[in-house]
Amino acid sequence: MADIHIRKEGRAGRITLTRPKALNALSYEMCLAIDAALKAWAEDDTLALILIDAEGEKAFCAGGDIAQMYATGVTGDYSYGRRFWLDEYRMNARLAEYRKPVVSFLQGFVMGGGVGVGCHASHRIVGETSQIAMPECGIGLVPDVGGSWILARAPGALGAYLGLTGARMGPGDAIRAGFADLFVAQDQWEGVKAQLVATGDVAALKGAPAPHATLAAHQDVIDAAFGQDNLAAIAQAIGQIDSAFAAKTLHALQRNSPLAMACTRAMLRNLGAGGRIRDALAQEYRFTWRAMEHADFLEGIRAAIIDKDRSPRWRHATLADVTEAEVAAMLATLGPDELTFDIVEEGQR
């Protein structure tokens, strides 16, 4: 497949995303190819680890390729999107629960679907250019691909802040928030990869001190505001603070989908720090299964990607308009359509 290069090399199973002109956006076919490789390599004793990287300097993977999802969704056909999310989430769980070490190298933009491929690895490497984010609320979706699982375990209310605003994390913040493990200068990456391939030993990974985590200075404000009971209270708390950080945060809250943000907040609270990735993915799937018909996803894509007018007409005019009943309905069980997994139970994370 031209969009992804999958091969065995030395002691490593290698997966390289090869769509740099499209910022390595993840297609449905790429998801299936990654999952098939992970299945095939699980019992391959010649491989000691999995190495995931991407071509190009701008992005490891800036998100999912949602053009076909939108094209089918606006006709009232939601089956393609639901199948994409179903198989993608199963692949995300397989990565997170994999019994061999998985090493990912995360340059440039790592967003949405890119988080699902790169940030569930057991050893996640960031460098100088890394910019990680879960910006889904800006298109009427919730942080998915298991991203809500990472957000729920971030320090204090940092996960709620990142999930609701879609704020980007540099390498230091990504490590602090739990989206990455090691900082390695990017001019050393090829040498490190060569060692991993030759030896199959993750001892080759030696990180440098992590860069400053800029969001740490705002943790008290984040905790005070994003620990509030509802979106309106969060916005009110932020609005009372006179700072550039508070103003930027309030703007993000006023820009993003109220329904998506309310559901994101509920999902993180439901998970807590002790939730499993399967619990997170199941919640995410309940929302995304309904997203095109009952939420703001199609309108968000229209405004951001199709018409590019940046003026989405959300279902709710204000943050206070979303009811608890609406949130509960979006996250209710899907019955026979619930997300299931074909992965062995041992070693779940």
What is the full DSSP assignment across 119-185? Answer: TTSSEEEE-TT-EEE--GGGGT--S-TTHHHHHHTSSTTHHHHHHHH---B-HHHHHHHTS--EE--
Per the residue annotation, which of 136, 173, 181, 296 is the catalytic one?
136
CA distances from 260 to 90, 94, 121, 235, 311 (A): 22, 26, 27, 15, 16
Per the residue annotation, which of 53, 65, 88, 144 is the catalytic one?
144
260: its two tokens: 């998506």
Per the residue annotation, which of 10, 13, 63, 64 is the catalytic one?
64
Query: Residues 334, 289: contact at Cβ < 8 Å?
Result: yes
For Cα atoms 79, 80, 85, give the angle at the middle one, nearest 5 degrees. 100
253: its two tokens: 């809250």
- 326 an active-site residue? no
Using CA atoms, how far apart are residues 7 and 51, in angstroms rounded to an integer? 10
Using CA atoms, how far apart are residues 322 and 175, in angstroms rounded to an integer? 33
Per the residue annotation, which of 73, 112, 113, 200 is the catalytic one?
113
64: its two tokens: 């999912």
Q: What element of type H or E holds 54?
A: strand 49-54
- 136 an active-site residue? yes
Kindly report the number of other CB atoms within 10 A of residue 320's CB atom. Answer: 14
- Residue the block writes with tokens 């199959």: 200
2 has which bridge partners? none
Using CA atoms, how far apart are residues 269 and 265, in angstroms rounded to an integer? 6
The arrangement of strands across the sheet holding 131-133 comes to: 59-61, 109-111, 131-133
- 64 an active-site residue? yes
**Burial label, 246 (beta-carbon count in 10 A; 0-12, 13-18, 19+):** middle
Query: Residues 161, 133: contact at Cβ < 8 Å?
Result: no
Q: How many CA atoms lie within 13 A of 343 on its CB side?
A: 26
Catalytic residue ranges: 64, 113, 136, 144
